[in-house]
Structure 1
Amino acid sequence: MLEARQLSFHFSPGEPLLESVSLMLNAGQWVGLSGDSGSGKSTLGKLLAGYLTPQVGDITLDGAALPKNGVQPVQWLPQSPELAVNPRWRVGKILREAWTPSDAQCEAFGVHAHWLSRFPQSLSGGELQRVCVLRALVPGVRFLIADEISTMLDPITQVELWQALKREAEQRQLGVLVISHDEALLKQLCEHRYHLSAGLLKRI
């Protein structure tokens, strides 16, 4: 279980972005998170994945602190995949830095073999996002924080990506936090949904 307890976080003194936020995500569970732009959704995602440190409260995985070394069991997937890759590396190296997926796994996520010899800037945003999602599924990962990952995709590609991720998550019992403005998408994918507003998290 991934658990955040009484998290508070601010970038500027006296202006809390998150205030006493608590959230639990179990293995195999899909939870949705919505909120206005600037409400702190991505910040909460980064905290859960260990990219940021809460100023108050704590985040635990099965009751222990998140590991600082080795394979990170909580992977954060940002909306802009170009920010998550080294532009000087070819796509094949970007994938192999984390792990080497099988041909079947590449096919399931629409990652074509001829992409592997290309640089990330030669792929479209949607193509690169497929690569980043596949890279995040490194053996040992247990939870995914999917932060607006399908925003730049056309409707058909969105469906294909989420279907592939659903199958993989079910097979491996991955817990997934889906951050999105799209309430219809969250209703379709998630068992439980939360809304973040004015620093407070409410179940909807």
Structure 2
Amino acid sequence: MLNAYRLHHAFADQTAVLDNVSLSLEAGEWLGLSGHSGAGKSTLGQLLAGHLAPQAGTIEVDGEALPRSGLQPVQWLPQAPELSVNPRWRVKRILEEAWTPPAELREAFGIEPGWLNRYPGALSGGELQRVCVLRALAPGVRCLVADEISSMLDPLTQLALWQALREVVDERRLGVLVISHDAALLERLCPRQLTLSEGRLSPSVRHGAQSA
């Protein structure tokens, strides 16, 4: 479904953060990505979602190039959700920028009705992250890049978020790339895992992954 071919991306000093990187993500697949800080994991996620343009290589979803405008079929969810919302918009408008989630789905993600009239600054980081995850599940989205999205949450909230997300992902057969330093989380969620190091991906197939 999502295929990236021979991606190359370098910093201004010409240091390659990604060097000839290829990746595939199938419908309904949970794929883990780990690597040390600064290895380029977030850069790869932003490339896959169209936030950055690769200096070389191509990215396709269902055999077609990423669109240049409109709803992106690959949604990047960063660790800091405040970076992806307009602080002057209320939560209701933030959600409806992409779609209008049904009440039962808002409830599944722990989004209380009273939040809808609040501004992002009135929510905690974890609360705002749940809003951003739900917004990213608009019809037409095919893949998610979850970049350390639960690192700021307490264990119970983290578990509830991943359980709610898994139900939607499994129902819609979305592909999910989970970027995390948490080896235990990747083990639970992702039967297949990759490591990014020195600009290259190395596969590491792990068996027996359990649901969150």
Task: For residues 134-167 of structure 1, give each alpha carbon's deviation from its aligned partner in whole angstroms, at most 9, with x where no partner exists.
Answer: 0000111010000000010000000000000000
Q: Please list, as runs of the form range in 1=range in 2, the aligned pairs for 1:1-204 lying within 5 A after superposition.
A: 1-204=1-204
- What is the distance in 2 between the residues matched to 1:68 and 1:6? 20
CA distance in 1: counterparts of 2:61 and 2:102, whole angstroms: 28
Cα deviation for residue 70 of structure 1 reads 2.4
1:68-90 deviation digits (Å, cap 9, x = unpaired): 22221110000000111110111
Question: C-alpha separation between the residues in 1 aligned to 2:120 and 2:71?
Answer: 23
- Structure 2 residue identity aligned to 1:20: N
Matched residues in 2 for 1:53 and 1:89: separation?
28
How far 1:12 sits from its partner (Å)? 2.0
Question: How does the TM-score come out when normalised to structure 1?
Answer: 0.98
Is the deviation greater in 11-20 or in 167-176?
11-20
Q: CA deviation digits over 1:62-120, x for unaligned, max 9? A: 22211122221110000000111110111111111111111100000001100001110
* AA partner of residue 104 (structure 1): E
- Deviation string 1:5-57 (CA, Å, 9 cap, x unpaired) is 11110122431001111100011001000000000000000000011111111
Q: Partner letter of residue 158 of structure 2?
A: Q
**SS of residue matched to 1:17:** strand
The aligned amino acid for 1:143 is: C
| 3-state SS, counterpart of residue 132 of structure 1 | helix
AA aligned to 2:71 is V
CA distance in 2, matches of 1:34, 1:97: 31
Secondary structure of residue in 1 paired with 2:195: strand
Residue type at the aligned position of 1:117: N
SS of 1:98's partner is: coil
Unaligned runs of 5+ in 2: 205-212
RMSD: 0.8
Q: Which runs of 4+ in 1 moved over 4 A?
A: none
SS in 1 for 2:144: strand
